Structure 1
Amino acid sequence: MTEDLQVLIVDDDFHVGRLHAGYVDAVPGFRALPPVGSAEQALRVVHGSGPDLVLLDVYLPDALGLDLLRSLDVDVIMLTAAADAASIRKAMRRGALGYLIKPFGAGQLARKLRAYARYRRVLAEKPVLDQDTLERALHALHPGTDSGTARARSATEASVLEALEPGTAQSASEVARRVGISRATAQRYLSALADDGAIEIQLRYGSTGRPEHRYSLAPS
């Protein structure tokens, strides 16, 4: 059993909402709630179901999504055809974590969702964050914004990455055995690779005890 992040799509076009719901459901670790088409419906679902993330359009029949944004006590990424700078700046001022301009493909939305999952995971590492952890969380949410080149990897980190087989999720202990390092060292490198978006983390729940982290290569 896994606990997927629940996503509410708010779009006045029913067919577009269904399309985007399909995009969301195709990303491991995410589950789309039934899409809604108005601000009123969005507020009702947010208050009733408590989704983890809302994908919000600007143009709704009963309100502007940018105005609704101020009333949503939940993480929001804008998915909209509103491409003017004023709308984008207003969305960021009012708390949107991201902005994706229509039309876009499934891969673009998947990258946003995977970045959001990494951001959540880093923030959950400890109850009180230090500045370094905060910076890692923000970098996870917006990867590649620090520079145009990829971060250089150490030999050990490269070996950890190479130990992951395509299409297979492995535990930190399994990776450690393959590379010949301690489990703690493997876990540290795996966490760094997840922050960079090179790999993904899923949770596997057993009959008892804490869930086990499983690591796999991120889709290219």
Structure 2
Amino acid sequence: MSELLRVLVVDDDFRVAAMHAAALERVRGCQVVGKARTLAEARELLATRSVDLVLADEYLPDGSGADLVGASDASVLMVTAADSWERVRRALARGAVGYIVKPFAMSQLLERIADYSRFHEAAVRADRPATQAEIDDLTALLRSRPLTRMPKGRSTITAQAVAALLRTHQGPMTAIAVAEEVGVSRATAQRYLADLVDEQLVTLSLRYGTHGRPEHSYEWSR
């Protein structure tokens, strides 16, 4: 078993999958080994690649992401908008290591992944039988962080659109340019950009415009 935490991202929205994958690559010891948009694609990748953790959406075109729980040796963390108690109960009862409901702050997901990475690393490095205290300490890592929901008034779709635009754009962009591309006001764009800066996914810098006036620019942290 590799000390690297090898992650498979499963989401039918390629923009969400790409955003999650780009963010995960920033976690120490974490490696994204593939992205899948359907249950069938996920199963094929699980059969052909070494995977330690699956980030799975519940709603997939050909089935439920929870069906991946127990389908391989990989652990499954549900990251989904499905918030019914029945779906939560089913996924956790099957053995999912966690269930995160969208929308949420990306920084909180990264903290949860970092915790699981430490859990994985400790389990891989162990060369002797585990004590009960060690088991309790490791399992506590998976339950120690309450998730912070996305700030009130924010839209998951808009947040994803802003993040996807910056991630694929070559070079920095101003808030006005982002607003025009996404189709929102400058003030709205600035709020979402500030969230991405706080989560350290985007770098904020100061530059001078054509008339010599200072303006903020935003660039995806690659």
TM-score range, shorter chain: 0.5 to 0.7
Aligned pairs (5 A) from 1:133-212: 133-143=134-144
Q: Shift in Å at residue 121 of structure 1?
A: 3.0
Answer yes or no: is 1:116 the counterpart of 2:111.
no
Aligned pairs (5 A) from 1:1-220: 4-124=4-124, 125-143=126-144
Matched letter for residue 34 of structure 1: G
With over 3 angstroms needed to count, the CA separation of the structure-2 counterparts of 1:121 and 1:70, relative to structure 1, is closer
Q: Shift in Å at residue 105 of structure 1?
A: 2.7
Q: Is the 8 A contact 1:122 1:136 kept in 2?
A: no
Q: Is the 8 A contact 1:17 1:35 kept in 2?
A: yes
Q: Is the 8 A contact 2:7 2:33 kept in 1?
A: yes
Distance 2:122 2:71 in 1: 26
Q: Is the 8 A contact 1:55 1:78 kept in 2?
A: yes
With over 3 angstroms needed to count, the CA separation of the structure-2 counterparts of 1:119 and 1:3, relative to structure 1, is closer
DSSP 3-state at the match of 2:136: helix
Distance 1:100 1:106 in 2: 11
Q: Shift in Å at residue 7 of structure 1?
A: 0.8
Q: Is the 8 A contact 1:11 1:57 kept in 2?
A: yes
Gaps of 5+ in 2: 147-222
Distance 2:122 2:4 in 1: 16
Aligned to 1:153: none
Q: Is the 8 A contact 2:69 2:75 kept in 1?
A: no
Instruction: Calculate the TM-score normalised by the size of structure 1.
Output: 0.61
Deviations 1:6-47 (A, max 9, x none): 111000111111111111112121121331100111011111
Matched letter for residue 106 of structure 1: M
With over 3 angstroms needed to count, the CA separation of the structure-2 counterparts of 1:29 and 1:121, relative to structure 1, is closer
Distance 2:25 2:145 in 1: 25
Query: How many residue pairs end up in the alignment?
Result: 144
Distance 2:12 2:26 in 1: 22
DSSP 3-state at the match of 1:33: strand
Distance 2:121 2:3 in 1: 13
Q: Shift in Å at residue 142 of structure 1?
A: 1.7
Distance 2:145 2:77 in 1: 18
RMSD over aligned Cα atoms: 1.9
Distance 1:22 1:121 in 2: 21
Distance 2:34 2:134 in 1: 34
Matched letter for residue 143 of structure 1: S
Distance 2:13 2:65 in 1: 14
Q: Shift in Å at residue 3 of structure 1?
A: 5.4
Bigger mean CA deviation after superposition, 12-21 or 64-73 = 64-73
DSSP 3-state at the match of 2:35: coil
Distance 1:81 1:144 in 2: 19
Distance 1:96 1:60 in 2: 17
